[in-house]
Amino acid sequence: MRLWSYSWTNGDRIPARYAAGKPDGAGGATFSDNLNPHLAWSDVPEGTQSMVLICHDFDVPSRGDDVNQPRREIPADLPRVDFFHWVLIDLPPVPTVIAEGEFSRGFTPRGKPGPAALHGARQGINDYTGWFAGNPEMAGNYFGYDGPFPPWNDTLVHHYVFTLYAVALPRLQLEGVFTGQQVREVLAGRVLAEATFSGTYTLNQRLLAE
C-alpha cells in the first residue's frame, strides 16, 4: 500500500498553512491556518473494509517545565513522548483521497465537534485535549485534525508521521470518545497493510535561521 501527498514532499518541512501554530514575528508563536493536508493512497489490499489514519509527533517533551519559557531552551536529549494530532477511523477505502482542508480549516477553541465525521468516518480526540485541559478559555474535546504547534523554544525539530492502516473490519469496536492509543490497541491483529507519510516542523527561530 502507498500513501502520498501533494501538500509537501515526504520527509520535508511542513508548510505553515498545515500547522496549528506559526512564528509570530517576535520570537514566539501564534495560531496558523491549520488545514489538514492532501493525502492519497493506492494499492489497497483485497479484503480491506475500512481505513484508519493516525498522525502523531514522537518528539514531544516528556516534561513541560521549559516549554515556551523565554530565555530558555528545551534540551534535545530530554526524553520524548507521542502526541496525537489526528485520529480518524471507519474511513471508506474509496475514494482514495482526502482533500486539503476537507476535515480542518482553522483552529477552533475548545475543539471541533465529533466523533461523527465526513464520509461516515469517526474521529477521536487529539492530544490538544489534554494540553488545554487547564485553560478555561480553551478546554474541551479536540476532535479531528489539529496540526503542528511545537514549543517555540525546542532545540529539536519535530517529526510528524501520518500512518494509514487498511483494516479487515467495516467499523472498529470503539464507542463514544476515544484516543489514538485506544485505536492502536484495537488495531492489533486486524491490519492488512499500512503506509506512512511524514514531515518536519519547528517554531524555534534559531533553527529556522540556519
- The predicted model scores a pTM of 0.96
Q: With contact defined as beta carbons under 8 Å apart, do 21 and 32 qualify?
A: yes
Q: Residue 91 corresponds to which cell in the numbers above?
A: 474511513
Sorted by where each starts, the structural domains of the chain and their CATH numbers stand as 2-208 (3.90.280.10)
> What pLDDT is stored for residue 131 in this prediction?
95
User: pLDDT below 70 — which residues of the chain?
Assistant: none
Measured CA to CA, the distance from residue 129 to residue 125 in angstroms comes to: 7
> What pLDDT is stored for residue 65 in this prediction?
87
**Helix and strand numbers, DSSP H then E, in the chain:** 3, 10
Measured CA to CA, the distance from residue 77 to residue 168 in angstroms comes to: 40
3-state secondary structure of 136: coil
Greatest pairwise CA separation for the chain in angstroms: 55
* Burial readout 139-175 (b: 16 or more C-beta within 10 A, e: otherwise): bbbbbbbbbbbbbbbbebebbbebbbbbbeeeebebe
Measured CA to CA, the distance from residue 188 to residue 115 in angstroms comes to: 22
> What pLDDT is stored for residue 87 in this prediction?
98
Cβ within 8 Å of residue 130, ≥6 positions away:
none
Peptide bond into 170 cis (omega under 30): no
